[in-house]
Amino acid sequence: MPAVTTTDRRAVTEAPIEEILSMRWSPRSFDRDAVVTDEQVTSLLEAARWAASASNSQARRFIVGRRGTATFDRIEQHLMGFNRSWAPNASLLVLAIAVTAPEDPEASATPYRWSEYDTGQSMANLASQAHALGLHAHPMGGIEVEAMRQEFDLPERYVPITVTAVGTVASPDLLPERYRLRETAERTRLPLDELVLARD
């Protein structure tokens, strides 16, 4: 069977949007032989670093491992269910952590109420940068939060949110059927008039 390429899964949009937004998608089939360079990893992290955050609190931290390193293996073993079968083929795993409170509560009037939002913003930036580098990113919420916290000896106020797999997309033929079909299916979203509650 010829390999199907799924590198173009452009979103069908109701109005033009930037190509980097329409072309980004989250594959599960990654090329196990591909590597990301140190420079690429730094670019991805810079993109995450420069995302907006509430009061510029930057209430997010990252733990990053390239495949073949101990850090990659430590992140990988706390992925849940099916994530554990496909994500290890990626070239890089990025654990995104929300910092839910400042180290010294006296020094700040409010807890970091928007830390999960801030973390998501940074990972969206990272995904866009991955696309710009010719890579793909796939976020996963299916992770063992407590085990991850213990693995990396994180304090209570550091909450693991997602692990994002980054790498080079590979043929969907490498996946079991159920997931192979998802890899090539049309990408869908709620229509704007369902998504937007009010618009004048």
Interacting residues with ligand FMN (CB under 6 A): 25-26, 28, 83, 139-142, 162, 187
Give whichever of 102 and 131 is closer to ligand FMN, judged by the CB atom: 131
Least distance (Å) between residue 197 CB and ligand FMN? 21
Q: Which is nearer to ligand FMN, 61 or 102 (CB)?
A: 61
DSSP per-residue codes, 8-74:
------SS---HHHHH----S-B-TT----HHHHHHHHHHHHTS--GGG---EEEEEEETTSHHHHH
The amino acid at 180: R
CB of 142 to ligand FMN, least distance (A): 3
> Cα angle at 162 between 157 and 163, to 5 degrees?
120
* Minimum distance, C-beta of residue 106 to ligand FMN, in the bound complex (Å): 32
Least distance from ligand FMN to the Cβ atom of residue 184, Å: 12
The two beta strands, 92-99 and 136-140, are unpaired
Contact 128, 24 (CB under 8 A): yes
Q: Whose CB is nearest to ligand FMN?
A: 142
Q: Which is nearer to ligand FMN, 102 or 116 (CB)?
A: 116
